[in-house]
Structure 1
Amino acid sequence: MTTGEQRFAQQEFAGMPPRLFRASPSRLHAWLDCPRRYRMQYLDRPSPPARPQRAHTSFGVAVHNALRDWWDLPPGQRTAAAGAELVRSSWIDVGFRDAEQSLQWRGRAQQHVTDYLGQLDPARQPLGIERTVSLKTERLALQGRIDRLDDRDGELVVVDYKTSRSAPTDDEARTSLPLALYAAAVWKMFRRRCVRVELHHLPTGQVASHEHTGESLKRKIEEAESIARDAQRAEADYADFGVDSGRFPARVGPLCQWCDFRAHCPAGQAAGPEKSGWAALEEDRDDQRAEAVR
């Protein structure tokens, strides 16, 4: 056991309050996805340079920014056409194969946003837009940002926008750790019950949802604390050994082809060729080609 781990274990054995682990839901997920990527992203200093942003990220950011800025407009100006203009003005032309592909996907983003906004009541102001929330437990100091927080006749609802190709399911809403932690944080901050979480899929207009209970939120918090404990123990080892710590193995799998840090990870490079910057936009076409070959 290393010095850092000994200090960590001694605190727990002596019944001392552990140092709070400060994290966001995305940081906790990064640890679960791959400890090696977690180390490079959050611990190594200077952090290894990440690859340039991919096209699907540019697409998603533009959509999220437009939906955020739309609510800053005066109610009378909150039209679907205004949403399309916000997409155009916030468009990020990064990661695409060429200008033609970028223009094509900008048009799709504008269509998704106008279709979605056409279903909303512009006068019904959400309680929060990209609202930062926080939650403290005996082990964890969590902070994250909610896409939208609705107050629907006294019921607080956590809304998360999705722009992926596949529509999320109710089961994904149920099992989502970030959504549950956001709901728990909202409940504590506003001192009002918050159990409903929703995934709003812009490409299809579908909504996946789940109604938590106080008990199910408690289980999600315990899950987050367990992840935090493992990451905190690994970080204690990193404090002694740095990049030579053995607690940050590469979790090799399909995600390696998409990893922003694969250029610095031989194990990830061996998992298969890197996906192009626009691969997530072209998967349907690639699937069709593969089917034709078969």
Structure 2
Amino acid sequence: MTPSRLGVWADCPRRFRMAYLDRPTPPRGGPWAHSTLGAVVHNALKALFDLPVRARNPEAAAGLVRTHWKDDGFASAAQAAEFRDRAAGWVHDYVADLDVTHEPVGLERWVSAPVGTIVAEGRVDRIDQRGDEVVIVDYKTGRHALTTDDARGSQALALYVLAARRTLRRPCTKVELHHLPTGTVAAWEHTDESLARHLRRAEEIADEFQLATDTLAAGGDPDILFPAQPGRQCAWCDFRRSCADGQAAGPPLDPWAMLAP
């Protein structure tokens, strides 16, 4: 049970069906510029730790952004170049404050564990060893700075904690959201109680879509079992072209509309 799968169901059951059950999968929309930007930053930071320690410096990190850069989803080459330079600056400044001599326990590390009635799994951006515990680090490149409430309320990060404990066989309670555009870190220290709350909610969501999936396989009506949930998210849904309800909810966004001003 990955956080993305849980999130898609909570966002829109019809989108869940199109993404995970319909075969052939309906055609998806084109690339989004903000997604391209985020992927490049993640790839650059991962590649940084593939370098020898002596070569891990802010200038090298910025250069890796340019090496991994793509223009997918941007309005023009000029706009892409502007955000390429912005991203290089974010990564440069981030690495300037980072102890690059410390080797992460994991980079883009897949973790998985049976917990409760589900198997929680996913890919973690970075896992640090700090003292006797490991810490879950998630890179963010969105428009807005993040808060402690964002870290505390993230179901994805909570599930990563549970999965990392089992995969790595090490204690883990702390999660961090590293927002590169602002250079801020939002952190939260989970307790067994807070993790149990996240797990219960994940189990409830999993039960919901598993029942719908099983009923569909038995001949149930897909439109009843997987109803659309029209809303502002329809403007950027990958399956908008295959969903009349989504199209009726409002006009689509341009692929670069979710970039920071």
Confirm or deny: 8 A CA contact 1:254 1:271 kept in the other structure. yes
Q: Which residue of 1 aligns with 2:125?
A: 147
Partner of 1:69: 47
SS of residue paired to 1:145:
strand
Tell me, yes or no, if structure 1 residue 132 matches structure 2 residue 110: yes
The answer on 1:260 being equivalent to 2:226 is no
Counterpart for residue 170 of structure 1: 148
* 1:191, distance to aligned residue in structure 2 (A): 2.8
Q: Which runs of 5+ in 1 are unaligned?
A: 1-22, 285-294
Assess, with a 3 A threshold, how the Cα gap between structure 1 residues 242 and 88 changes in structure 2: closer, same or farther: farther
Give the equivalent residue in structure 1 for 2:167.
189
SS of alignment partner, residue 225 of structure 2: coil
Find the aligned partners of 1:226 and 1:242 in 2 and give their Cα distance.
21
Report deviation, 1:187. 1.6
Deviations 1:147-171 (A, max 9, x none): 0001112221100000001011100
Equivalent pair of 2:121/2:159 in contact (CA under 8 Å): no
> Secondary structure, in 3 states, of the residue corresponding to 1:280?
coil
Is 1:225 equivalent to 2:209 in the alignment?
no
| Cα distance in 2, alignment partners of residues 29 and 109 from structure 1 | 27
Residue 47 (structure 1) aligns with: 25
Tell me the distance in 2 between the aligned counterparts of 1:242 and 1:71: 50
Paired AA for residue 146 in structure 1: V
User: Aligned-pair distance for 1:245?
Assistant: 4.6
Identify the residue that residue 200 of structure 1 maps to in structure 2: 178
Give yes or no for contact 1:237–1:245 (8 Å, CA) kept in 2: no
- Equivalent residue in structure 2 for 1:157, among 135, 147, 157: 135
- Report the more deviating stretch, 34-43 or 137-146: 137-146
Question: How far, CA to CA, are the matches of 2:162 and 2:120 in structure 1?
Answer: 11
After superposition, what is the alpha-carbon deviation per residue over 1:254-288, rounded to whole angstroms, capped at 9, x for unaligned?
11111111111111111110000100126x4xxxx
Give how far 1:135 is off. 1.5
Cα distance in 2 for partners of 1:273, 1:199 equals 32
Question: How is 1:276-291 mapped onto 2 (pairs within 5 angstroms)?
Answer: 276-281=254-259, 284=261
The 8 Å contact of residues 234 and 247 in structure 2, kept in 1 or not, is answered as yes
Deviations 1:97-152 (A, max 9, x none): 01100111100110010010111111111111111000213421222010000111
TM-score by length of 2: 0.97
Q: Is the 8 A contact 1:44 1:243 kept in 2?
A: no
Q: 2:158 aligns with which of 180, 183, 196?
A: 180
**Taking structure 1 as reference, are residues 242 and 74 closer, same or farther at Cα in structure 2, changes over 3 Å only?**
farther
Once superposed, which parts of structure 1, at least 4 consecutive aligned residues long, lie more than 3 Å away?
241-245
Which amino acid in structure 1 is aligned with residue 61 of structure 2?
G
Q: Do structure 1's residue 106 and structure 2's residue 106 form an aligned pair?
A: no
- SS at structure 1 position matched to 2:259: helix
Q: Percent identity?
A: 50
Which residue matches 1:275? 253
1:247 positional shift = 1.0
Aligned residue type for 2:196: K
Q: Which amino acid is 2:59 matched to? A: A
User: Partner of 1:281: helix, strand, or coil?
Assistant: coil
After TM superposition, the score normalised by the length of structure 1 is 0.86
Paired residues of 2:115 and 2:162 also in contact (CA < 8 A)? no
Aligned alpha-carbon RMSD (Å): 1.3
* Amino acid aligned to 2:67: S
Q: Contact (CA 8 Å) 1:170, 1:210: kept in 2 or not?
A: yes
Residue 89 of structure 1: how far off its partner (Å): 1.0
Alignment length (residue pairs): 261
Q: Is 1:237 aligned to residue 219 of structure 2?
A: no
Task: Mark the CA change 1:69 to 1:242 in structure 2 (over 3 Å): closer, same or farther.
Answer: farther
* Counterpart for residue 209 of structure 1: 187
Higher mean displacement: 233-242 or 179-188: 233-242
